[in-house]
Amino acid sequence: MVRRRNRGEAKVDVNLTPLLDIVLQLITFFMMLVHFGTKIEGASAGIRLPVAPAALPGSELALDRMVVTIDARGALVVGEEAVQGRMADAWWAEQAQRRRDGLETLGGPGAELPTLVIIRADKDASYGAVRKALVSAQERGFAHFTLVVLRSLR
Amino acid sequence: MDRTPRRKQGIPEDVPFPVTPMLDMAFQLLAFFILTFQAPTRETRIDLYLPTTPIALPGSSPGQAKPRPNLPAETVLETDLMVRAEANDRGVLKALTLNGADVPDAEALGLRLRRYASVLDGKPLRVYLVADDRLRYEEAARLIGACSSAGVAAIRLADAGDRRSPQQGRP
């Protein structure tokens, strides 16, 4: 007959040093990757951005920004609708008027609106459609634009 | 009589070091950096400044019998370059020229523009981009991007059928 000795409660010592070491490694990893810079806003769902070489942007994104999406057919995407022609012109006029009204309280806008227009255009859109959008915007007083492209992998 | 207790000579006791609060703070920091983590993106941008100058406005409204003003191009032979891009019906770049000389692709265009810029000795280099409206935006963005990365001071965008420069801008 075997008698089992009552060994009692065994004290378990958890060695926390390796755990702490791994956690600090992870913290260091994420610290190296943290980037508090300005992200280019706007979603590109349904839009395939072109791949193009680009110089480093010279300035941070301005506070007053407006994102404009142009789909593969060259139509301006407003909300969930795609507008072209006169409706697109009317949209640009409305956006410009809103900003001018807002700037009235600050002493009035100059000839140019300070708004930065961020253009996300599909790579298959025609150059003519994008150029016409730029012309429409320019006629309404927008002068600052930025084209969002994808950096080449090489 | 000296009643001060004598200290025992011997091995010092283990000093307990509580690691738990330190681990707790480490987890807090880790959570902060995980929540503020932004995945790297390939998105970048090409800045354009298109001033609203009179030359930038289009011609007279349709229906009004006003002849289009034939605005003389303000070109300076030394620092202004003309880039022409022709496209086929599918929007693919068919021909690319820089001041009349053939250029194989956007990368070669960028290299040539860089050489021009280095020769100009600090003078601003301006480029007229005359492109077919049928050209795919990706091809046009590559050309504009090549100009931008070559250090071009100003780009004028125009379509192939318009002799004037409806837009003038700098990257």
Chain B contact present for A126, CB below 8 A: yes
Taking contacts as CB-CB distances below 8 angstroms, the residues of chain B near A138 are 50, 52, 56, 167
The predicted-structure confidence for A96-140, as pLDDT tens digits, reads as follows 998 888 877 777 666 788 889 999 999 999 999 999 999 899 888
How far is Cα B46 from Cα A54, in angstroms, rounded to an integer?
Answer: 6
- Tokens representing A136 are 């429409």
pLDDT value of residue A51: 84
Q: What is the pLDDT of residue B96?
A: 92
pLDDT at B13: 73
- Residue matched to tokens 């605005």: B71
Mutate which of B41, B45, B136, B162 to disrupt the A interface (most A C-beta within 10 Å)? B45
- H runs (alpha helix) in B63-104: none
d(C-alpha A42, C-alpha A67), whole Å: 6
Considering only the beta carbons, identify the residue of A27, A122, A147 that sits closest to B33.
A27
Tens of pLDDT along B44-102? 888 888 776 543 333 334 444 444 444 444 555 556 888 999 999 888 999 999 988 99
User: Mean pLDDT for chain A?
Assistant: 81
Band (pLDDT 50/70/90 cuts) for residue A85 is confident
> What mean pLDDT value characterizes chain B?
75
Q: With an 8 Å Cβ cutoff, is B20 touching chain A?
A: yes
ipTM: 0.72
Cα–Cα distance, A89 to A76 (Å, whole number): 10
3-state secondary structure A46-97: CCCCCECCCCCCCCCCCCCEEEEEECCCCCEEECCEEECHHHHHHHHHHHHH
pTM above 0.90, yes or no: no
Q: Please tell me which residue, B7 or A152, carries the higher pLDDT value.
A: A152
Closest partner CB to B140 (pick from A20, A127, A139) = A127
3-state SS, one letter per residue, for B108-128: HHHHHHHHHHHHCCCCCCEEE
